[in-house]
């Protein structure tokens, strides 16, 4: 544990946070990619330094995905795509310092709550997670997709269309269960599927460039408050968090519960929280409601970052792609994750717990403030120059995922598709949600169906699965109820 407070440990945290802030702010360069590129360095570091550095990278990078949303309406991560439009609008009304301050402080508070729950309830949550099978994961995917249909604030039919379009895109490539190629059109490159991060860059980044090209007179009035910068970034968001403390706690708990499920992580946690909050506020309008949706997303995604480590440390199961890489680091260092890890490596476990607290209390606000100052400069950039930079970032970001020019063309195609969908009033965020949850839905349905010999009643036999199904029905009922109220008001 003492290594984390050594000069090497402090440098690892500071440099890891800076590295995560830079990567997360650039579209396409996600926390997963940042950590993957960090692995060769981690090989030469002590585990008590390498693993805390990875935590610092992932915690800051998840937040930094909101910088692109603030400056150019491009979500840097799938987690930030859940609320990026609200964040973009807020940055135009209140300025980037307040919008990123709300994101950073919400992420920090959610991360602290997630870390505390990780410390206090890891064993309890793991015992609950052991009851999950493919049936429960199938219903979790159905629950997330159902919430997404009613969370757009517009037509539920158009939301469903966008969602199904995303699910369709997720089927491109080799069938994960039976191994058959689908929708590859004879191209071996498409057998690997469509990367949803590449699609996200095109849907939100390149489409925004096209919108400005076809509407050259479109500009945004940005408000810069006369209050001191520190007040805008730290104090004003913290006052709102105190005022909405139950919302933040509720969203953080959702992030924790979703994050500890293998394969879910911060992305789905953020989507579920924002979807539930949008449904709760359906029919309401106003700046305060937008702030609440942003708080719900930011607090849940960093809470999920902490809880994703629970199955990794206790069961050796990755909670998300980041912890999947971390398990590789464990093996590389000769450490066996599992229940015995808590007895054999208590110092390492304590160092990890401390890192979560330090990252969210100190690193995230510090690098968040630096990111906000940078965004404040970038947001004043002339629109033609900003569009050029955004286009370059879209091309570089999509190419950097797999180092293939094919992904650049896919990104451009998704941009043109998004341009057309926006003209028809179809929401774009639901397309990404469908691409994220589609593979989870399909794989767990097929696995469940095969092992039950296609007895569909087995999907309703298990108590937890039945509970998730009831939650899905409640969401459908509430969604239609609020939808009818809105139609009557209009």
Percent of the chain with pLDDT over 70: 80
Number of helices and strands in the chain (H, E): 23, 2
Examine the pLDDT at 40 and tell me if it is beyond 70: no
The tens digit of pLDDT for each residue in 20-33 reads: 888 777 665 667 66
Least confidently predicted of 36-45, 296-305, 449-458, 470-479: 36-45
Specify the 3-state DSSP secondary structure of 154: coil
Cβ distance 467 to 135 under 8 Å? no
pLDDT band at 151 (very low <50, low <70, confident <90, very high): low
In this predicted structure, what is the pLDDT of residue 74?
73
The tens digit of pLDDT for each residue in 341-365 reads: 767 777 777 888 888 888 888 888 8
Examine the pLDDT at 2 and tell me if it is beyond 70: no
The separation between the first and the last C-alpha atoms of the chain, rounded to the nearest angstrom, is 60
Cβ distance 61 to 24 under 8 Å? yes
Q: Give the separation between CA 200 and CA 27, rounded to whole angstroms.
A: 9
In this predicted structure, what is the pLDDT of residue 486?
46
Average pLDDT (204-229) is 62
Q: Of 430, 324, 407, 409, which is closest to residue 28 (Cα–Cα)?
A: 407
The tens digit of pLDDT for each residue in 171-207 reads: 888 887 777 888 877 777 777 788 777 887 788 778 8
In this predicted structure, what is the pLDDT of residue 318?
60
pLDDT band at 282 (very low <50, low <70, confident <90, very high): low
Q: Give the separation between CA 170 and CA 163, rounded to whole angstroms.
A: 11
- Tell me the range of 188-197, 208-217, 257-266, 422-431 where mean pLDDT is highest: 422-431
The contacts of residue 374 (CB under 8 Å, 6+ apart) are 25, 67
Quick one: DSSP state of residue 203?
A: I
Average pLDDT (216-226) is 48
pTM: 0.69
The tens digit of pLDDT for each residue in 92-106 reads: 888 788 888 898 898
The tens digit of pLDDT for each residue in 121-136 reads: 766 655 666 677 788 8
The tens digit of pLDDT for each residue in 450-472 reads: 888 888 888 888 888 888 888 88
In this predicted structure, what is the pLDDT of residue 319?
61
pLDDT top residue among 355 and 221 = 355
In this predicted structure, what is the pLDDT of residue 147?
74
Strands (E), 173-309: 173-174, 181-182
In this predicted structure, what is the pLDDT of residue 263?
55
Length of the chain, in residues: 490
The contacts of residue 458 (CB under 8 Å, 6+ apart) are 135, 448, 452
Q: How many CB atoms lie within 10 A of CB 204?
A: 30
Cβ distance 80 to 294 under 8 Å? no
Burial-class residue 286 by CB neighbours within 10 Å (0-12, 13-18, 19+).
Answer: exposed
Q: Which residue has the tokens 């239609």?
A: 480
Q: Give the separation between CA 419 and CA 428, rounded to whole angstroms.
A: 10
* Average per-residue pLDDT for the chain: 78
Q: Give the separation between CA 196 and CA 295, rounded to whole angstroms.
A: 24
Average pLDDT (194-221) is 72
Average pLDDT (107-116) is 88
Average pLDDT (143-147) is 79
Examine the pLDDT at 476 and tell me if it is beyond 60: yes
pLDDT band at 221 (very low <50, low <70, confident <90, very high): very low
Tokens of 447: 């696995």
Max Cα distance, the chain (Å): 66
The tens digit of pLDDT for each residue in 68-93 reads: 778 767 776 767 777 888 888 888 88
* Domain assignments of the chain as residue spans, ordered by start: 2-489
């Amino acid at each position: 544990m003492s290594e984390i407070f050594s000069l090497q440990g402090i440098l690892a945290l500071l440099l890891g946070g800076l590295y995560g802030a830079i990567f997360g702010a650039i579209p396409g360069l996600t926390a997963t990619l940042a950590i993957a590129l960090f692995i060769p360095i981690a090989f030469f570091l002590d585990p008590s330094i390498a693993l805390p550095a990875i935590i610092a990278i992932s915690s800051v990078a998840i937040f930094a995905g909101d910088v692109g949303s603030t400056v150019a309406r491009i979500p840097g991560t799938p987690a930030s795509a859940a609320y990026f439009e609200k964040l973009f609008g807020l940055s135009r009304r209140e300025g980037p310092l307040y919008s990123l301050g709300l994101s950073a402080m919400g992420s920090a508070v959610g991360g602290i709550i997630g870390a505390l729950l990780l410390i206090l309830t890891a064993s309890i949550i793991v015992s609950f997670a052991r009851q999950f099978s493919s049936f429960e994961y199938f219903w979790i995917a159905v629950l997330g997709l159902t919430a997404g249909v009613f969370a757009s604030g517009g037509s539920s039919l158009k939301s469903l269309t966008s969602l199904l379009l995303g699910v369709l895109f997720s089927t491109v490539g080799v069938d994960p269960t039976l191994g058959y190629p689908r929708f590859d059109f004879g191209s071996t490159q498409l057998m690997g599927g469509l990367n949803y991060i590449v699609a996200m860059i095109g849907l939100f980044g390149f489409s925004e460039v096209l919108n400005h090209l076809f509407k050259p007179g479109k500009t945004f009035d940005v408000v810069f408050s006369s209050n001191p910068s520190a007040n805008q970034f730290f104090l004003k968001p913290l006052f709102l968090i105190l005022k909405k403390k139950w919302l933040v706690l509720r969203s953080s708990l959702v992030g924790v519960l979703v994050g500890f499920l293998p394969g879910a992580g911060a992305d789905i946690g953020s989507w579920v929280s924002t979807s539930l909050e949008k449904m709760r506020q359906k029919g309401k309008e106003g700046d305060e409601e937008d702030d609440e949706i942003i708080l719900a997303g930011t607090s849940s995604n960093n809470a999920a970052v902490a809880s994703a480590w629970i199955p990794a440390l206790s069961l050796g199961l990755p909670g998300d792609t980041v912890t999947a890489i971390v398990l590789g680091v464990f093996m590389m260092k000769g450490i066996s994750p599992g229940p015995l890890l808590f007895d054999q490596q208590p110092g390492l476990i304590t160092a990890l717990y401390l890192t979560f607290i330090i990252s969210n209390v100190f690193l995230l606000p510090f690098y968040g403030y630096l990111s906000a100052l940078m965004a404040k400069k970038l947001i004043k950039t002339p629109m033609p120059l900003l569009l050029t930079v955004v286009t370059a970032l879209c091309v570089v970001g999509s190419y950097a995922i797999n180092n293939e020019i094919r992904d650049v063309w896919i990104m451009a195609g998704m941009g043109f598709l998004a341009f057309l969908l926006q003209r028809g009033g179809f929401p774009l965020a639901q397309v990404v949600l469908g691409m994220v949850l589609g593979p989870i839905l399909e794989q767990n349905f097929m696995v469940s169906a095969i092992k039950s010999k296609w007895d569909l009643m087995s999907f309703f036999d298990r108590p937890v699965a039945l509970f998730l199904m009831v939650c899905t029905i409640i969401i459908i009922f509430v969604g239609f109820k609020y939808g009818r109220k809105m139609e009557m008001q209009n």
